[in-house]
Structure 1
Amino acid sequence: MSPTAGPDGLPPLRDIIERHGLNAKKSLGQNFLLDLNLTRKIARLSGNLDHRTIVEIGPGPGGLTRALLMEGAKRVIAVERDARCLPALEEIAAHYPGRLAVHPGDALEADWPALIAGSEPVTIAANLPYGIASLLLVRWLETEPWPPWFDRMVLMFQREVADRIVAAPRTKAYGRLSVLAQWRTRAKVVMSLPPEAFTPAPKVASAVVEFTPIPMPEPQCRVSTLARVTASAFGQRRKMLRSSLKQLTPMPELLLREAGIAPERRAEELTVSEFATLASIVERGDQASA
């Protein structure tokens, strides 16, 4: 082992970044985590990694990738859009033969069932690029069929997004993302990171959120219907539901009465369960009129 090598026998990340000219690109939402102690802590938040496949999005120079492999991940499937990072990731793949598969391309266009074929169980663990973090999360939460192809997600977001995910009713942060995340998963913030933990330092703090899928969310409804209901309700969140839900149905009072919800209430006052109840009633109406 080189005297300057890290505990895994690979060069320090700063050396790799300098050698490959991997300055973080704002256009790609890149903020690198270079502290191996931090990345190993995040890896351990993913649980016991033995016999487990990890899907990682936007590994960059491979800081979290190395931590996941050091902590015992059987296999890491890394999806990286930035071609500049691929040589650095290939160095890690060579150091851990057969344990790292690097897929160049955009995570928003990935065929997840094909990428993870034959890999169970699967956890998603990633320092998500800020620009696509919420969009990726929503796509994973809207996965069909449910339960999904992953059994846990451990994801880093801007602190503001993390707060929206776990927000309770009657709070400013509570919204569509809160309802979707909390209906289909048990979501909780498990780690906070200050801006100076990253290179370059972003202007905001970050947080790691753990998601554990709920096999049979209750009340039952289609996720697409829940999306319609929340879009209508939160689209005019300051209005009473009897007004905001007119985008959804011409007679929202009837829908609300059947759900046992006062029409004077506003979207931010409803629980996740109440939103799912509304969605299930909308579905029955759709089926009756079909």
Structure 2
Amino acid sequence: MGAVGDFPLPSARPFRYLSPMTAITEAAPAKLNLYLHVLGRRADGYHELDSLVAFADVGDRLTVSPAHDGPHLAIAGPFAAPLLAEDPAGNLVTRAAAALAERLGRAPAVRIDLEKNLPVASGIGGGSADAAACLRALARLWGVPADAPELSEIGGRLGADVPVCLAGRPAYFGGIGDRLDPAPALPETHIVLVNPGVPVPTPAVFKARQGGFSAPARFAESPATAAELAARLAGRRNDLTAPALTVAPVVATVLEALAATPGCLLPRLSGSGATCFALYATAAEAQTAAERLMRPGWWVTAARLTA
């Protein structure tokens, strides 16, 4: 498998001079683990993983703009409250800005506006996707090539999911996130995302995990349809589902509700949860399912996997 540095990041864009008033906006899409196998545990306590990661066309939005000093982080949106209660210096976005500025030998004089549309601690890479979006936006603002190795190096230090979110397209995720390989092309696939409003800390899920380990389960051929993709994934698992159920039993209710919707091809937990998703062949099926799944306190949205 290739190292993160070998995985092709988005190709370098031509850069132009940016005026002092320029603002750069980047999307921070939701990350989905289409399958996730835990392969073993290392001596340092971290787990080796094998996962097919894809992204949805819904997520957070992040804008950076020049400032006299900084980094200054402003957070708004439906899921801003938990982050506003925390020290902004510890936010992955602020840390990403400070780390890139230090690496470039410049002051982190920027304002960062984060529109938080994704639930926090929900297994869909929200914080990691935000940090990756920040790195991409600052690279554009500061004239750094999009494929510069500094970006993936900093991303890897910030968190296991940041490098794959930095790449922003389907990939096989290996090791502890330090090994990425291109995934086969995915067919047009529509999805519904459901979060029951319960934050699930990843360390608690791994602590609750019991039993043996799984084998890698990668496939090289590109599924032709959403149904074929679902059939491939049905022979694989998310090994964190059982421990996630001990931390948040409501996950079982969500998976059962998804499975009962017409047109559902496959329901699954993403990452360590509590967000679950289901695959559908058409946008109409996904939208109808989303409407039927609305519950008080649940976050529900229809979306589409991106290429």
What TM-score do the two structures reach when normalised by structure 2?
A: 0.25
Structure with a larger share of its residues in strand: 2
Structure ranking higher on relative contact order (CA contacts 8 Å, 6+ apart): 2
What TM-score do the two structures reach when normalised by structure 1?
A: 0.26
Structure with a larger share of its residues in helix: 1
